[in-house]
Structure 1
Amino acid sequence: MKIAFVTLISLFAAASVSAEDGWIPLFNGKDLSGWKDNIATEEKPEEKANSFVVEDGAIKVQGGRAHLFYVGEDGKASFKNFEFKAKVKLGSTEAGSNSGIYIHTQMEDKGWPSKGYECQVNSTKHKDVKKTGGLYGVKDVLNTSPAADDEWFDYEIKVEGKRIVIKINGEVTTDFTEPDDWDPSKALKNMDGRKLTAGTIALQGHDPISRVYYKDLYLKPLP
């Protein structure tokens, strides 16, 4: 009975993000097909080593500063209005784990993405006070992460028009509408490109110590 019950739950979860409902799988659970990573920085290229690997059906992010961009089969993936879902797990490390999910960004060969917003993924133990579920440097969740370490949690992002809504385990943690006169440089230094236009998804490798996992990544384009 237990096996049958687990199977039913798995089938229900798969049905909830079926292609018939418009959901696109971004990760096949086997390899990084459709994804492309960049180097860390010119100053510390060694920090990129093996930052993104597939382990037990999930993307494991550990090893250094780098970013993994979803480029799709044709290398031109771009979305404007959409819903995004993923399961995320923060590894329990002595200094905490930090990562992020970029939206409306674009592939760049090096450094931190200059386009789009970062939806924060960060444990309570990490020294950065901006925690999971916030819109980094724009509308932050401060000091305490709504997600525990070593536990899978649901991360949802919805972009519609000028509005961004982030949910963690079904609870809204950020609801931000970009003003018509939005000047991102006033929110955080070097944020001139933090605007809603269109673009792809990217996962962040923040530092050599952090360890974060992503799986069941789906995106549903909206009108």
Structure 2
Amino acid sequence: MNWKFVFVGSLLACLTTSSIVRAETPASKTEADFVSLFDGETMKGWKIAEENPDSWVIEDGSLVCQGDRCHLFYVGDLAPFKNFHFKADVMTTPGSNSGIYFHTSYQPEGWPKQGYECQVNVSHKDPKKTSSLYNVENVADPGVKDNEWYTQEIIVEGRHIVLKVNGKTMVDYTEPENKQPESEQFARRLGEGTFALQAHDPKSKVMIRNLRVKKLAE
């Protein structure tokens, strides 16, 4: 037996195992720092807008929207949010449209005025596709398909917004200092607030699950 080769082989195996451990541990720790926003079974911590409340249901551990316009707002103990890292798993069906608002506030009806919207749209006719910072920095091709789960991330630190799909950065935007409200209808500026999920129209069915967030230092 050539003991030199045995020793080298054992050393390489140890180094490989060590590298795997080092690579996996930070990711596991990072995910463990996130706090769930949805228990998969009830609307606890969430409040449905007064218009068309039947547009939101829970199915198989997911929040599911299908129906006339209605927004679902997070009103749990973790709110409000300023600097944060948000993640959710999303699945669209063909031709559907939805959105994830942040830095917004509860409204009984209408499109949310406060904050920004992260678009949810793979094949709807609206050219602003999934992970667009709606009407601010738009995405034409998010690289995902209908009827398949993808992970949407929203990261806000100070005036900096990053939107990611399956780990790939789609939007990297820094809000100008002293940005004024865009219009009376939509502010589209940072401050602090909560998250809202959008039921857009009766032909749009979207599933959202595994919503979690990590607050970041201010």
Task: Kindly report which structure 2 residues correspond to 1:1-223, keeping only aligned pairs within 5 A, or say none.
Answer: 17-18=31-32, 21=33, 23-40=34-51, 48-73=52-77, 77-92=79-94, 96-124=95-123, 126-142=124-140, 144-185=141-182, 190-191=185-186, 193-223=187-217
**Cα separation, 1, equivalents of 2:31 and 2:43:** 20
Long gaps (5+) in structure 2: 1-26
Asked if structure 2 preserves the Cα contact closer than 8 Å seen for 1:25 and 1:218, the reply is yes
Q: Cα RMSD over matched residues?
A: 1.8
Residues paired across the two proteins, number? 191
Q: 2:8 corresponds to which residue?
A: none
Q: By how many angstroms is 1:190 displaced?
A: 2.6
Which structure's residues are more often strand, by fraction?
1
Q: TM-score, normalised by structure 2?
A: 0.82
**Cα separation, 2, equivalents of 1:14 and 1:100:** 28
Q: TM-score, normalised by structure 1?
A: 0.81
Q: By how many angstroms is 1:214 displaced?
A: 0.4
Letter of the structure 2 residue corresponding to residue 208 of structure 1: P
Letter of the structure 2 residue corresponding to residue 57 of structure 1: G
Deviations 1:125-181 (A, max 9, x none): x11111001100000113x34220000001001000000000001100001100014
**Cα separation, 2, equivalents of 1:107 and 1:204:** 12
Whichever of the two has the greater Rg, that structure is 2
**Cα separation, 1, equivalents of 2:85 and 2:50:** 28
Asked if structure 2 preserves the Cα contact closer than 8 Å seen for 1:39 and 1:111, the reply is no
